[in-house]
Amino acid sequence: MKFLATHIKHRFQFFRWLYFSVIAATLVLMWTGQPARSENFVVYFPNAHSILPLKTYENVRYLPVLKLLKVFGHVARVRSKKKELRVWFESTELQFHQNNRVVRLNKAKLRLSNPPQNIEGEWMVPVDFVTQILPTLINQNVEYQVGENRLFIGNISPNSFTLQMQPMQGGARLTFQFAEPVNLRTAARNGKWILYLGNRPVEPAESNFEFRNAYISRVQYDDQDGHPKLILTPAMAGLDFYPVLGNGEKTLVTEIMKPEVAATAPAPAGPQPAPEPQPAPSQPAAAAAAAKPPTAAPAPTPTTSLLPAVVLDPGHGGSDLGASGGNGLLEKDLTAQIVARVSKALQATGRYQIILTRTGDQTVNFDQRATIANTAHPIAFISFHAGNLGPSTPRVMVYTYQPSSPVALAPGADPRPLFIPWAKVQLGYLNRSQQLAQDLQQDLQKDTGVAGSPPMGVPLRVLRSIAAPAVAIEVGSLAPGSNPAPLTQKSFQDGIAAAVVQALGNFQGGQP
């Protein structure tokens, strides 16, 4: 009896051991059969890029060899057996053997750091294939930094940057110094800020920066989708973010601030963040200055930054003059005048925080305007223009964005539809934009006494990337033969300001 019990117990232990070893074996199989990590590998050519899946097995990084070869040329024939792969690529016959680090190219033998692997029917080669074998297969310059997920082919000099973090009162300042100019676009996703750096590939000296700071915790360089960008992780929610690009588009200063501080702090030294709320915008035009009462000392209320933001965009500026009228009146000055009046009227309601895309006579490009607007998360973006609206004057038109060709919003074949393409941002706001345009059109007609036509959808570049209800107001006519005097009249400009105040009030009230 006793013997039997012991025997059973042993048998039980034996089966239990067997059972666990089966689990362990299954785990090992799964472990080696599945990548520990799945990433992308980006191949940059001078005017294009290709993305390949990169897989890591037992600490070795592999690329799918057939997909890789097809990026560089014509694969005429493939013969794949269980342990051997033969590929006819351009004029070279390549032979790979599982468990053999030697690869044959016609008669020559070249060596990889690790043997190729046939994993679930796909032949994979270790990443050093791109430095050990690829250069002899293609007649092009190959640049690869060991350990990185990007490869540069041909005549490319990738951009690079350095990053400096500077703590500030109530915030932090990040200064990115680029070797070459960048084309900046911003977006916000999942509580992170994303700074797209244009199409030029970047080879960062360092791609991950961690900070022990109350405002910013991490900056990462990422180009996994083929689009060079910086991903900024704020250390807490509810911070404001002011990126300003300067010094020939090579220096990017981004200030990350607590909203209260941003509204009341004195102007910091160094580059001035453009989108700070300005109680009284400077007046570039002498005509408007005369009509404007002397500005009292700015006294923003402490709650300013908690108010919903409205972004006003004076069209043109700096070297971009815009249209001009018969007496030499420039569109850039007229839009600044009108925006100053609209801003003052909106400030007077005490209901909004007003942000201007330019506060003086400087050149601001479309992406910079969109950057300022999108980082403010406004309830509305209103762009102001003046142009040739035909012989009768004054006239007022209201526009919303309409793509020049039909654009599908569906993510399509993009395997990582994480980011809405910058050029399609406004499409998500079109209904609200059209609603605001309707309200504005009616109020403009009422308050300026000028009969107008219904709002129109046009492919306006300045509205295209605005992540908010966005409209453009154009006054006219401002053309060489026209008399622009009615457009500079106080009553006309005050009418526009009153209409904007009323339309925004309606628009906000109508929000669900």
* Nearest to Zn ion of 388, 508 (CB atom): 388
Buried b (16+ CB within 10 A) or exposed e, 84-99: ebebebeebebbbbee
| Residue whose beta carbon is closest to Zn ion | 385
Of 199, 203, 154, whose CA–CA distance to 178 is shortest?
Answer: 203
* Nearest to Zn ion of 281, 322 (CB atom): 322
- Per the CB < 8 A criterion, the answer to whether 130 and 143 are in contact is no
Question: Shortest approach of Zn ion to residue 328 CB, angstroms?
Answer: 17
The helix or strand, by DSSP H or E, that contains position 54, with its residue range, turns out to be strand 48-57
Query: Following CA atoms 420, 422, 424, 429 in sequence, which dihedral angle do they give, to the nearest 10 degrees?
Result: 80
Stretch that binds Zn ion, among 126-134, 200-208, 370-378, 384-392 (CB under 5 A): 384-392
Pick out residues in 402-461 that bind Zn ion (CB under 5 A).
none
- Per the CB < 8 A criterion, the answer to whether 329 and 284 are in contact is no
Reading the block at residue 446, the tokens are 């009422």
* Nearest to Zn ion of 322, 378 (CB atom): 322
- Per the CB < 8 A criterion, the answer to whether 49 and 42 are in contact is yes
Instruction: Enumerate residues 6+ apart whose C-beta is below 8 A from 246.
Output: 252, 253, 271
Reading the block at residue 384, the tokens are 């102001």
Reading the block at residue 111, the tokens are 């060596």
Query: Of 227, 341, 385, 432, which one interacts with Zn ion (CB under 5 A)?
Result: 385
Question: Shortest approach of Zn ion to residue 336 CB, angstroms?
Answer: 12
* Nearest to Zn ion of 241, 381 (CB atom): 381
CA distances (Å), origin 343, targets 54, 141, 222, 468, 502: 52, 55, 39, 18, 13
Buried b (16+ CB within 10 A) or exposed e, 264-276: eeeebeebebbbb
Question: Shortest approach of Zn ion to residue 315 CB, angstroms?
Answer: 4
DSSP-derived letter for residue 74 is -
Q: Give dist(CA 451, CA 396) in Å, integer.
A: 8
- Other residues' Cβ atoms within 10 Å of the Cβ of residue 142: 17
* Nearest to Zn ion of 198, 476 (CB atom): 476
Stretch that binds Zn ion, among 8-16, 137-145, 201-209, 382-390 (CB under 5 A): 382-390
- Per the CB < 8 A criterion, the answer to whether 202 and 150 are in contact is no
- Per the CB < 8 A criterion, the answer to whether 370 and 328 are in contact is no
Question: Shortest approach of Zn ion to residue 386 CB, angstroms?
Answer: 7
* Nearest to Zn ion of 228, 322 (CB atom): 322
* Nearest to Zn ion of 316, 341 (CB atom): 316
Question: Shortest approach of Zn ion to residue 317 CB, angstroms?
Answer: 10
* Nearest to Zn ion of 322, 469 (CB atom): 322
* Nearest to Zn ion of 242, 384 (CB atom): 384
Query: Of 64, 273, 284, 315, which one interacts with Zn ion (CB under 5 A)?
Result: 315
Q: Give dist(CA 181, CA 30) in Å, integer.
A: 47
**With CB under 5 A, what is the number of residues at the site for Zn ion?**
3
CA R_g for the chain: 31
Question: Shortest approach of Zn ion to residue 76 CB, angstroms?
Answer: 55
Q: Give dist(CA 154, CA 72) in Å, integer.
A: 11
* Nearest to Zn ion of 353, 368 (CB atom): 368
* Nearest to Zn ion of 315, 455 (CB atom): 315
Q: Give dist(CA 386, CA 394) in Å, integer.
A: 10
Question: Shortest approach of Zn ion to residue 444 CB, angstroms?
Answer: 17
**Chain center to CA of 387:** 31
Stretch that binds Zn ion, among 121-129, 171-179, 302-310, 316-324 (CB under 5 A): 316-324
Query: Rule CB under 5 A: is residue 332 a binding residue for Zn ion?
Result: no
Three-state SS at 254 = strand
Instruction: Enumerate residues 6+ apart whose C-beta is below 8 A from 366.
Output: 461, 462, 464, 465
Stretch that binds Zn ion, among 237-245, 282-290, 314-322, 346-354 (CB under 5 A): 314-322
Stretch that binds Zn ion, among 175-183, 204-212, 244-252, 308-316 (CB under 5 A): 308-316
* Nearest to Zn ion of 137, 340 (CB atom): 340
- Terminal alpha carbon distance of the chain: 80
Question: Shortest approach of Zn ion to residue 135 CB, angstroms?
Answer: 51
Query: Of 322, 455, 469, 476, which one interacts with Zn ion (CB under 5 A)?
Result: 322
* Nearest to Zn ion of 253, 323 (CB atom): 323
Stretch that binds Zn ion, among 219-227, 296-304, 321-329, 354-362 (CB under 5 A): 321-329
Instruction: Compose the 209-248 pattern: x for residues touching Zn ion by CB under 5 A, - for all others.
Output: ----------------------------------------
Stretch that binds Zn ion, among 7-15, 107-115, 116-124, 320-328 (CB under 5 A): 320-328
Question: Shortest approach of Zn ion to residue 316 CB, angstroms?
Answer: 6
Stretch that binds Zn ion, among 115-123, 265-273, 312-320, 442-450 (CB under 5 A): 312-320
DSSP-derived letter for residue 348 is H
**Chain center to CA of 135:** 34
Stretch that binds Zn ion, among 19-27, 167-175, 241-249, 307-315 (CB under 5 A): 307-315
Question: Shortest approach of Zn ion to residue 478 CB, angstroms?
Answer: 9
Which residues of the shown chain bind Zn ion in the complex (CB under 5 A)?
Answer: 315, 322, 385
